[in-house]
Structure formats: C-alpha cells, structure tokens
Copies of this chain bind each other. A is one copy, B any other.
Amino acid sequence: MTSFNDEYSLLAPGPVNLHPEVRKALALPMIHHRTPEFDVILKRVLTGIRSVFQTKEDVYLLSCTGSGGMEALLVNTISPGDKVLAIVSGKFGERWAEMAKTFGADVSVISVPWGEAAKAESVEDHLKRFPETRAVLCQACETSTAVAHPIKEIAAVVSKYETLFLVDAITALGAYPLPMDEWNIDGLVAGSQKAFMLPTGMAFISFSKKAQAYFETAKCPRFYYDVRKEKKANIAGETFFSSNVAVIRALDVVLNLITKQGLDSLFHTIHRRAEFTRIFAQRLGFTLYAKSPSDSVTALVVPTVMDGQKIRLELEQTHNITIMGGQDQAKGKIIRIGHMGYIQDGEMLKLLDCLGKTLRTFDPGSLTLEQISMVVDEGRQWLEQNP
C-alpha cells in the first residue's frame, strides 16, 4: 500500500492522515467480536490504552464520536439539579455547557474570549463561592480556537474540592502530556480520529476513583452510555454492545506504534510540527490566533484583506491539501492546521509553500515567489536541524 500523502494531505485537527498500517488493519477480513482472536486484541487494547491516558484506571471504548464520550462523562457522574461550572472558550465548550443543561444540570459559565486561555484563579474564585459544584468542565484544547487550557493548574484547584474535573481531551490526548492520575483529572475523553489517527467513530473515556464513586448515585437516565454495564462486560473480556472490531483492531496497531515510538517521542513529533508551523507561518504574514497555542492544532489569523474560507478552498482545490477554516465567530478570520496523525516533513514544507502561493493569489502584495521559496528553504533547514 503506497502512502497517499504524496498526492493528498489531510492536515486538519481531526480526522487526520491514517498510518499505512492502520489502513491495512481497516481492510482486514471481518472477524466476530466473540472469538478467541478478538478476545486477545481487546484485552491488549484495554490494557495498552491506559498508558496513553497515563492512568491506572479502566479506559472504556465507546462506539460514538467524541461528543458521545463527552455525554458519557457527564451522565455517569452528574444528577439533574447539580451545579456544574463550564469553561466556555469556543464551540466545543459551548456544546458541553449546552449538553450539561440538557441533562438538567444547573450550569454556570466562565466565558473566556475566543483565542484566550482559561485561568485557574477564575475557577478557584467560583469554587470558593460554590464549593458544592459537582463538576467543572473544560477542554484541554478548544479545537475551534486552538487554545490549550492550563489543565494541570485547574486540576490542582479542583482537586481541593469534592468537585470533579471533567476534561474534553479529544483534540489533545496523545498529542501532548495530560497525565490523568498525576494531575488529578477526574474524567477524560479522547476521540479516535485525532492523535489516535483512526477513523472517526470511537471515543475513549476514563474516570478517576473520585469520579467512579458517582456511578451509582448519578441520576441522569442512561443506557447506552452507562459505563457500569461496560465495566462489567470488560471484566468478562467483552464489550457490552457489539464491539467496533474494525477500529479496535486498528487501535491495537496504533498502540503498538505508540509503544514502539514512546509516548514522549510522539509528543515531541507533534510539538515539532506545531513549532514549525508557528514559526514559519508567521514569516509568511500570518499571526497566531491562540494566546496559549496547543501543539495539536494551530490557528492562524489570515491577513485582514483575505477570507480564511477562500484560502482553505484554494489549498484544497489547487493543492490537494485539506486544512480547516474558522467556525462561528472565527469563520473567515482564521485557518486551522492540525499536527496529529501520519504527517511527513515533506507535507509540512509543501503546505508552507502552498500557503505562501495562496496568499499571493489573493493579495499580490504578499511575499514574492522568491521570498516564499526562501521561507520554505529556511523551513527545510529548521526541520533538518530539529529532528
């Protein structure tokens, strides 16, 4: 199987380019989830994935998108009427707050301007006033703004209370450090199509012991997302609902790749791509949107005379590169470039080159072709000097 990356690059904040071994695994003949062959895989995956969560607790493999995993974190720990504090700094924060309201929580919001990071002190101020708050909700990386929130600091605050700290790490887990146990994160959700470089369709979640204590008392009605069922099934070596064999088998491949590479080395790989993008996109005339930029995705403010959506479209139609534009209030103002998945250095250099040329298409006053070529050369040198 040849790498497709020469022809097409998916440089979005998820889904991402698949590793060739993942693609091979997805094409394997189907096997049943109640077979000795799958039993071995499931057991290995359920153990192996804990190392990415950096936890000793169980990790559950759910057939749903990341949002389903966010719902699962909520409905297993909160009850209608519970006070919940949602940090809202973009589209996914808004979604989680709305979700908690839907399930009857009494939701307070810390509203953070798009592009900025939450402050642990604001959380502390709130918890001092409302120590009975059941849960604090925060994105590790708010995908819509490419901001990384100070999860370690907020966790340190929340852990002083009875409150649970639930973290949406869909665009973060596996991309940079989020050691769940060490930092006292109480609920963590990851998505298959992000740093796990799998197709969309699975969410992986885990709960601290502090959060698990609510499984029996939480009163949100739940069936599909009731992790008590899943926990029991996992102990028996199964999943409660039909196993997502294709993706779990591919996850087995990914966990093996991560083990071989080492988690720190994986983080470095992704950090290096983010650094490269941050440095050289600025040389082309973009500025950084996020005050506290995430390593998983970079949001670039496009020069004021341009429309981010058009830049995105031009990259796709002319250069076979998919990146994302902005959402909601950032639509047209930013473009977003993902750093997770199977990305070659050549793809990053090509993106840089094409970004420069695309700017020229819309604004002849941008860098000349010669200047763009120099930036790309410098980028190539940087990549060589920073392996």
Contact = CB atoms under 8 A, between A and B. Distances in A.
Contact of A246 (B10, B200, B316): B200
A246 B202 CA distance: 12
A14 interface: yes
Interface stretch (A20-28, A178-186, A260-268, A372-380): A20-28
Contacts of A14: 242
A291 interface: no
- Count of identical protomers in the assembly: 2
Given A104-B221, A202-B201, A223-B102, A242 B32 contact: no
Contact of A30 (B16, B32, B104, B324): B16
Interface of A is mostly: loop
A157 interface: no
B33 A29 contact: no
B98 A223 contact: yes
A213 to B, nearest CB: 21
Interface string A227-250: 000000000000001111111000
Interface in A246-282: 246-247
A139 interface: no
Which of A10, A67, A104, A223 gathers the greatest number of chain B CB atoms within 10 Å?
A: A223
A33 B241 contact: no
Contacts of A99: 223
A4 B28 CA distance: 9
Nearest to A193: B242
Nearest to A25: B27
Given A200-B243, A242-B14, A221 B30 contact: no
Interface string A25-68: 01111111111100000000000000000000000000111111
Contacts of A244: 65, 199-201
